[in-house]
Amino acid sequence: MNLALRIDNNIIAAIISIIFLKNILGRLDKSERKNRIFVSIFILNTIELIVETLTCIINKQPYAWLIPITTFLHVTLFALAPLVTYRWYTFAKLWITKTADYKAKDNILILLPIIINTFLVLLTPFFKFDFYINKYNVYQRESLFFTPFVISYFYLLCGFISIYKNKKYLNRIEFWPLILFGVFPTLASLIQFLIYGPLLMWSSISFSLIILYLYLQQQMMHIDYLTGAWTREKFYSYLSNRINQKKSKSFSIVLIDIDDFKIINDTFGHNEGDKALISLVTTINSIIGNENSITRYGGDEFILLLNVCSKQEVETIIKKISDALAEHIKHSNRPYKLNFSYGYELYDFDKHSDISEYINHVDKLMYKHKNSKKKKCL
């Protein structure tokens, strides 16, 4: 295969990656661990693109002084390969959990394949495990050349499993970009693994990262950064479209307000308060599924939009949420209870009520419930 045809895809991908990387470095909030990991994936993949391109350019150039350089480049290529998919797996975990609590040290076994691969790659120049550079500066695959591929597939598989198992916590705009990011590189690397010559793996990851960023950036505009719930703007837009539909299914909104949330913040700190909000949203999402939604209306107030036909269905869902939340707090050993007050009302299409009027009405019902609970405690 002509050298120019082999590397042109990589060169284009590398140039686009560098330009895009420069752009997102100025846009992403680097205080968020999830964003830092996303950037690290971009950087590692760009390095792989450049290194792989250089190995192709200098391969078969019969100069003895190039042999150490070729060896170093291939060691870098093989050592970094699994790190890219491992970082994607970590990114997916953080996106799903909506928290920065997940760390590799929490499960050291997940790092074991990377440790093994690094050990083999560093010894390859001496024992020819993964590859061999002969005296003519020609790269040759050796018996364990597949190791980085297999380990990369392992992390991709872990990511797929994690995303699929937790899909109830993700809406479709989040779910499919995360899945497709892993699918395209998997197919491209499989072709490159089976057919020696085409360079597809790193360029496919580069383009997948750009697509993933564009999808998720659009999604992040409508998602509360802390809890993963919808923003108020997203909710109003959706509710307006829902009401304006001529034939729309029956639905209800439920306005939820956490009881004594200020006490949690004042007693245990705002970090614990954030965890309480995340626990609430995660628990609710596990109950209501993808067909319904939760919005962070403000502070510790949330609005559920439920596709239901009766008040009994709403009460059943609220009961499930309350029980699940109590169970979650119990098993997580939190030093406080997490209760909430609520108000709800099925939307009446015949009344054609204004959105603000409808929400204000439900808000009054919520405060009525909250006040009744306070009177019982007196």
Same domain, 174 and 62: yes
Number of domains, the chain? 2
pLDDT on residue 214 = 79
Q: What are the pLDDT digits (tens) for 188-230?
A: 777 777 776 667 788 888 888 888 787 767 666 677 878 888 8
Same domain, 173 and 249: no
pLDDT on residue 1 = 54
Indicate the range of 78-82, 103-107, 190-194, 305-309 predicted with least confidence. Answer: 103-107
pLDDT on residue 336 = 83
Stated as kind and residue range, the H or E segment containing 294 is strand 293-298
CATH number at residue 29: 1.20.1070
Same domain, 198 and 243: no
The more confidently predicted of residues 169 and 160 is: 160
pLDDT on residue 57 = 93
Report yes or no on 190 lying in a domain. yes
Report yes or no on 86 lying in a domain. yes
pLDDT on residue 172 = 62
Same domain, 64 and 178: yes
Q: What are the pLDDT digits (tens) for 280-309?
A: 998 998 898 877 889 999 889 999 999 999
Report yes or no on 291 lying in a domain. yes
Whole-number average pLDDT of the chain: 85
Q: 255 lies in which domain range?
A: 232-377
Report yes or no on 315 lying in a domain. yes
DSSP 169: G
Report yes or no on 41 lying in a domain. yes
CATH number at residue 307: 3.30.70.270
pLDDT on residue 98 = 61
Non-local (6+) Cβ contacts of 107 within 8 A are: none
pLDDT on residue 112 = 93
Per-residue pLDDT band at 105 (split at 50, 70, 90): low
pLDDT on residue 246 = 60
Query: How large is the average pLDDT for residues 137-149?
Result: 92
Q: Specify the long-range contacts of residues 29-32, CB closer than 8 Å, at least 24 apart.
A: 32/100, 32/225
Asked if 243 and 355 touch (Cβ cutoff 8 Å), the reply is yes
With H, G, I as helix, E, B as strand and everything else as coil, classify residue 306: strand
pLDDT on residue 303 = 96
Tokens 């009177």, residue located = 375
The tokens for 134 are 């002969």
Report yes or no on 150 lying in a domain. yes
Per-residue pLDDT band at 181 (split at 50, 70, 90): confident
pLDDT on residue 106 = 54
- Which of 170, 185, 220 is the last residue in one of the domains? 220
Same domain, 60 and 205: yes
Stated as kind and residue range, the H or E segment containing 69 is helix 66-97
Report yes or no on 227 lying in a domain. no
Cα–Cα distance measured from residue 302 to residue 307, given in angstroms and rounded to the nearest whole number: 16
pLDDT on residue 102 = 54
The tokens for 190 are 């499989």
pLDDT on residue 142 = 92
Q: What are the pLDDT digits (tens) for 242-269?
A: 887 766 688 999 999 999 899 988 888 8
Q: What are the pLDDT digits (tens) for 119-133?
A: 999 999 999 999 999
Q: Is 101 a residue whose pLDDT tops 60?
A: no
Q: What are the pLDDT digits (tens) for 26-73?
A: 776 666 787 888 889 999 999 999 999 999 999 989 999 999 999 999
Same domain, 56 and 184: yes
Q: Is 99 a residue whose pLDDT tops 70?
A: no
Same domain, 148 and 99: yes
The model's pTM is: 0.65
Same domain, 265 and 204: no
Report yes or no on 194 lying in a domain. yes
DSSP 227: T
Same domain, 216 and 75: yes
Vertex 281 angle, CA 278 and 284, to 5°: 145
Asked if 162 and 96 touch (Cβ cutoff 8 Å), the reply is yes
Same domain, 204 and 289: no
- Which of 220, 244, 269 is the last residue in one of the domains? 220
pLDDT on residue 184 = 78
Same domain, 46 and 174: yes
pLDDT on residue 226 = 80
- Which of 166, 186, 220 is the last residue in one of the domains? 220
pLDDT on residue 38 = 87
Same domain, 332 and 189: no
Non-local (6+) Cβ contacts of 344 within 8 A are: 252, 253, 254, 255, 311, 314, 318, 362, 365
